[in-house]
Amino acid sequence: AQSVTQPDIHITVSEGASLELRCNYSYGATPYLFWYVQSPGQGLQLLLKYFSGDTLVQGIKGFEAEFKRSQSSFNLRKPSVHWSDAAEYFCAVGAYTGGFKTIFGAGTRLFVKA
């Protein structure tokens, strides 16, 4: 079965600074990898996804993520954080295990300070 680890429960960055959120996955084959963002009181919004091909994936809102098979990682990055980026970020891994199933990491809460 697949699993996802997000080592950082919360991260604080200054507005304008760069951001990297860590995600490690466990799965026997090449997984489907996702990053979602959840703002307070809001539903989940897909930032980006990786299925195959180029390991550097561009997403919405200026986010990107890089799939590194050797490290079983799919870290999310943004070069310059805006105050509106403060939210909860979830890494997720999907796989076909008798039907497509997505498992979420515990999430990383991002705080942005002025």
Partner 1 sequence: GAVVSQHPSRVICKSGTSVKIECRSLDFQATTMFWYRQFPKQSLMLMATSNEGSKATYEQGVEKDKFLINHASLTLSTLTVTSAHPEDSSFYICSASGTSGGRDTQYFGPGTRLTVL
Nearer to partner 1 by Cβ, of 78 and 105: the residue is 105
Nearer to partner 1 by Cβ, of 77 and 109: the residue is 109
Measured CA distances, 2 to 68, 77, 87, 103, 111 (Å): 16, 23, 25, 7, 29
User: HSE on the CB side for 53, CA within 13 Å?
Assistant: 5
Alpha helices of the chain — where are they, by DSSP H? none
Q: How far apart are CA 39 and CA 43, in angstroms?
A: 7
Sketch the per residue contact string, 36 through 55, with partner 1: x for CB under 8 A, - otherwise.
Answer: x-----xxxxx--x-x----
Considering only 22-30, 65-73, 74-82, 95-103, which stretch makes contact with partner 1 by CB under 8 A? 95-103
Considering only 19-27, 70-78, 79-87, 99-107, which stretch makes contact with partner 1 by CB under 8 A? 99-107
Question: Counting contacts by CB under 8 A, is residue 86 touching partner 1?
Answer: no
- 28: phi then psi, degrees, rounded to nearest 5: -70, -30
Q: Interface residues with partner 1 (CB under 8 A)? A: 32, 36, 42-46, 49, 51, 90, 94, 98-107, 109
